[in-house]
Amino acid sequence: MDEADRQLLRRCRVRLVSELQVAALWDALLSRGLFTLAMIEDIQHAGCGSRSDQARQLIIDLETRGSQALPLFISCLEDTGQDMLASLLRTSGQAEKQGPEAIRPLDLRPGVPRPMGTEREELTVKQEPAKPTPGALATVVLRPEELWPAKPRPTVVRPEVPRPVDCGSGVFSDVCGQLSRENVDLSYVLNVDPCGLCLIINNVNFSLNSGLSPRTGSNIDCEKLQRCFSSLHFMVEVEYDLTAQQMVQAFVELARQDHSTLDCCVVVILSHGCEASHRQLPGAVYGTDGCSVSIEKIVKIFNGAHCPSLGGKPKLFFIQACGGEQKDPGFEVASTSSEDRTPGEDTESDSVPFPEGPGTSDEPDARSSLPTPSDILVSYSTFPGFVSWRETKRGSWYIETLVSVLEQWAHSEDLQTLLLRVANAVSQKRIYKQMPGCFNFLRKKLFFKT
């Protein structure tokens, strides 16, 4: 879909979400090949499954369905008797093609340019004179602030934050013995016990049709993670060998639970992965059936709109999967880590090539939007586009290091510092290199309950 059609859909989205009758559209969308049955089922599970949630997801995914998606969608609307919405899209699209002069600005008076500076300006505007005189002009002096009043800027307070010190029972204090009010406001509160739910998806065995190899050693990662997050006061649940649809369903069920009495939520995914087209969050993970689910789609299930009981609370995602199939040999430095060893036959990657062929760029799972990303952190085992290494007898480099760092330092350091330790340690392993990283949308520091 070209940019003009995307912008048209976004301008009309409010009315489409308000009026679109999605139940009548499914057969038409299928018959015209605009969506597959699996895609429609994903849309039907969007949010709480309400009509408006499904309509919103349908419009978002429609942007990914190719250059003819908009005219085909308009035809579907006409086939199902939704002529008003079809006419809205047709006429709006035609007006846009006639050029910007055909569209009257909504927020500016004709003839009055928007002032660019803050100094006093003289603007000439066309006015109706007291006595009708064709073409009469009147010169009026207007201050910019009279047309566009300036909004006051909020005062930003940046208190100095002393490093927390563990007092011995999971209670943190500063050097004076108590955390100041300002410091408390800069950290998430994880006081309840258990402090949250932790869901681990452990995909080890894949169907023959998927072409994906078994992930030997992943069970070792899973056991370490269970022990680690249990010690951090999370209720841990493990799901084994899920298809892509089952993974989505597990995430939806977790998001629908009542988290109002909990302080945090953790999702860990152990699977094969690949590159994927994206807007904000890269990568996708595979179900055991060989179908992929984008990281963006997974994270969106837990945003403030779909999971209100986790609103304002940290939602953490740890992804052990390849971001692509590139192998990084690294670059030469003055010294190497004593941990460097030659990779043997027991070292594997969770890499799957980026799928190629017709329709790749229109994969809807990889193009889902993330409208409310606050209080979210996504930690990747490797840089986008590169493989993630796993040993058959010890588990993956990333999970092994993550668990080790949490066990040694979680009692005194915040999550971002812990992940820096993980990235540094993993980056120094072996001949082939691996660079973990994260997308951090947290608003505060996070200290685990220990």
Reported as a single tens digit per residue, the pLDDT across 250-263 is 999 999 999 999 99
Q: Could you give the 3-state DSSP secondary structure of residue 235? A: strand
Backbone angles phi, psi at 240, to 5 degrees: -110, 140
Q: Do 319 and 390 form a contact (C-beta atoms < 8 A)?
A: no
Nearest-CA neighbor of 167 among 368, 411, 416? 411
Backbone angles phi, psi at 187, to 5 degrees: -130, 140
Q: Which domains does the chain have, with CATH numbers?
A: 3-102 (1.10.533.10), 108-146 (no CATH), 165-440 (3.40.50.1460)
| DSSP labels, 381-416 | SS-TTB--EEETTTEEHHHHHHHHHHHHHTTTS-HH
Backbone angles phi, psi at 439, to 5 degrees: -110, 115
Identify the residue whose tokens are 């009758």: 21
Give the C-alpha separation, 53 to 47, whole Å. Answer: 6
- Side chain identity at residue 44, one-letter code: Q
Nearest-CA neighbor of 240 among 293, 294, 200? 200
Question: CA dihedral in degrees (263, 269, 270, 273; nearest 10)?
Answer: -150
> What value, to the nearest 5°, has the Cα angle with vertex 109 and ends 104 and 111?
95
Q: Could you give the 3-state DSSP secondary structure of residue 163? A: coil
Task: Name the stretches of the chain with pLDDT < 70.
Answer: 46-49, 95-185, 277-278, 323-373, 384-389, 429-433
Q: Report the b/e string of 177-211 with b at 16+ CB within 10 A.
A: eebeeebeeebbebeeebbbbbbbbbbbebeeebe
pLDDT of residue 92: 83
CB atoms within 10 A of CB 266: 23
pLDDT of residue 327: 42
Give the C-alpha separation, 83 to 95, whole Å. Answer: 18
pLDDT of residue 259: 95
* Residue 339: both structure tokens together: 């941990």
* Residue 61: both structure tokens together: 């995914």
Q: Do 387 and 326 form a contact (C-beta atoms < 8 A)?
A: yes
Instruction: Point out the catalytic residue in the list 264, 265, 322, 438.
Output: 322
Instruction: Point out the catalytic residue in the list 272, 278, 306, 438.
Output: 272
Residues 6 or more apart whose CB falls under 8 angstroms from that of 434 comprise 328, 381, 382, 383, 386, 387, 388, 389, 397, 398, 426, 427
Q: What is the pLDDT of residues 38-71, one digit of tens each?
A: 888 878 876 556 788 888 888 888 888 888 889 9
pLDDT of residue 4: 85
User: Is 259 one of the annotated active-site residues of the chain?
Assistant: no
pLDDT of residue 111: 44
* Residue 15: both structure tokens together: 């009315």
Identify the residue whose tokens are 């006595």: 131
Sheet with 376-380: strands ordered across? 234-240, 196-202, 264-270, 315-320, 376-380, 437-440
